[in-house]
Structure 1
């Protein structure tokens, strides 16, 4: 009787675990493989008494053949210590495995690849060791593989070429070694992101990498031990691709073909034996001549040995005379061109540059304005330093100071960058007048220098500065008035909802125009300007929703004009200079935040850089796509199969959504869901925004490449 009771007791207590589905039992192996003291909250609701694991933390399920099956595991950043159990390979419907940013160790079990439905494997930021299993490409649907920041080692197997569906391959920050195999890359027709940086790869760069036609963003081979010359075939990569070949042992001249023309010097730094543009290290003849040409040169030298001394001198004199004549012709043509009216013209890219017939080409086809009449006018402004003078930068725009004083003025807004008024002149033309600080009387030349640089910026997507006023106690900037508010107003409006006019085509138009304007400031403005404060409130819109970049170059002016010993906040009173102004409107709280600033821009004492603007523009793209401000708290999204945790950072929210493959309908602005035809375009802009908001500024694309990329959408 005692034995029967004992058996019955065991049966009753064991029945709950027997009722757990096979998927649940496989998941319990993960719970057992992890040190429970390090993950007290991660598995708190993983109970073996449940019938299925679909309500467990981090588990996503889907109804397949009338039963709930596990399709996703997401336990990222849970401080897990332990190993990855091979039993997870029995989850035959598992699609996403996210265990990144934990402390898991050991090797990647080959049995894991029995889960043949896997298409996203995110294991980065752990302590995994061993080699990359060649059998990983037995996963027929594998698209995303991120194993970065582990301790994986050994060579890359040529079998990696069997991962034909792979779109992201990120192996950075490991200890992989040997040569990078060349035969695997032509097979990867869909590969969009490749990062092999910070490993121990040696040998030459395989020329087959130039066949990656789908690659976008950055091709990163930096911080390895690669040697030899850079293959010309990399010039066949898409023009929007940024190369990162830093910190290797590459030699020879940097090729100048194809996509190489779009690379900046940072792509090639810390390769001591590398030379040529864009590095500031010219190549010696011996460095850039091929073996064939060296042989030919040697033959010529041998043939000259038989020439007489007098003939050699005669040939040398003739060569020198020819060079001098060519030089004179070039100088003559240059000055003739400079003297001709209109300076020079640029064809093919007028939409990216300034006014017709008055533009000059600069790097990448972006037109660059000739030094205009702004210099002459600004120099003339020095005459009025005593009592102040209104100086017109644009010859076609002139009015008297008294006219400005008498005009009706309406306050548009006030911030740390000064008070902004709308002023309607006597001829009915409205202008925007920004009132700066009252100090800086000893820094007149600095002020004029900054205004000169701003006055030379002329681009159809940048607000044009028309005039300025300087006096010891008053500084004003007069620019075009843009009549339809800002992108911030259109996105958030009075009720916090986007304007009904913000269709997908309108948003794409705004994104393209703003990208062109910023790219012009970076590449073609006289001083290669950094905006430093890109956000929707600084992108103005006209009645047709054409965007205009505003408030560029103001940070420096505010510093100059701040009263001595006071912070540069421009908090002077609104009255006293322009009468009849309405009470100022305060800037929205979101515009005062750091939500649009790059991580490195938030550090004290950091110096503004163009990659700040790229990051900020990426956040603006995300806001255009999602309709969410980067400071809306909380951001949340859910579906029947996945729940995205609440976060307050828009960039992290979007990245998490893509990692967990959240349905697009849960991420984009609901207003855009009706435009089903735009799905592929929306995805393309999302990927561009993610590239712009990379944490490492060196990995972000240049604004010029962003503009070219978005113009193709």
Structure 2
């Protein structure tokens, strides 16, 4: 009791004596006062330690507290005034994912060196205080998921260095002011009570930044009303507004409107009749075999553009039905080609290629090419090496079928190389079960992976019903993929994968990782080169058909960064640009807001920050610019196994460290 009284007296002296110069002692007293006010039961600082720099979540420089990170540690209540007035050396303050209430303390204005302020996921209320707009060094500001109300002030323009402004999930009202923040690259005001038009300077952000309001204009589909109150759509490029001499738009007559309505109804009825006829024709043809001559010339089906990962390989979750067996279409074309070759005096190899060639005991499954003809199928995705299908055979067997493209090597060379692939046997590889070869068609049959690809799981639907990827799942996937790639490299110094990326890491029902598409990079011609994802490719690779093992390690490092950040690398997704992950991570470390590198889904899990940092360091090592600076895959596997064991020990520790943030990451990555 006496100790607490002395601490409070010391704090009051520091606050009341204007001549007192803040130092580490005043910072310590302020932190203890903060713990007393809002610490609850989880902020287990050891008050007997003289230096607060040894406390969890605290970092010091030049005898001052410069970083305070206390995310998700059950802080609650109102922060009293008089604490931050003594923490004037703060550059980073993170109190996110707690239960703090009330307005922001007014003495936060004293933290003039503050660059990063993360308060999302609390219960702060009231208007966004004017004191924030005098913190001119602010770079990252996140006030999302609180109860802030009132309007968004134009004074945000005072924060000229601001790059991140997150205000979503509050109760902000009014219109969005014309923000002129030239450095702003992250912005979100979704799910508030805002109205009016979106300012032109902010229309470059995605529509998700504005959803859940009564806003209009680009990038939303809602049109803004003109001065007369009518909905007015700004003319698109190439669109002409036809006006009469008075400047008003011409109005359609009643007869013209009636004609349009009647015509639309008749067109709808006609389309409906055609659809019914086609459905009946399809039903009648379902019971008989597919006509080979017809299927042979059927065009290849394109994938809808809204698929989250356009390069989803043969384990992509959920496919697209094409009316009849797409796999059968590919197989039928192959049978047709085989018959044609045989009837025209083709080679014995061409004639004999009418059958699937199985590896190991795969032939005991009891299906052949004719079974694929009768299989129902779905398109899973188009990848670097061809189109993948999910085929369900009549016996209930499910396989993945890949129809290769741009294979330019001879049949002898193809068979030699594909037999090497078929001989690969490891629990973390997707096994190749069979293949078909003819002059014009090449078909590969794999085990089907029901949970799809890592890419789809990371970047696909994040709404209700989605299975979040926690730390244990992500680290297990990283280890499984590392072991699969390690096995490939162990088969010889010249054997590499050549196309490591998240869409080629497929998952079983238990989310075990399986590496797919190994060995195929050596089969395709140079025309496939532009399809490779630039974000994964090592800087020294000029010919994608000649990828070294060290280049594989680089791609695996990018994969690890993707796992940790939840962000796709450059050009990995069709509807997103992605980021240059190595450069982005390094910039975070340099800017001292390094905990923000991790996916938010990871930050909710406690006691694993040390392992997350270790995996991040490994990823950076793998993605080194020069090949000789990168570790080998055996070393990569060993390091992931060690951090996994450490993570399991921490998880079962009865008295774990409560901090779930990556404190002091910068020093550990230097």
Larger RCO (alpha carbons 8 Å, 6+ apart) = 2
| TM-score normalised by the chain length of structure 2 | 0.47
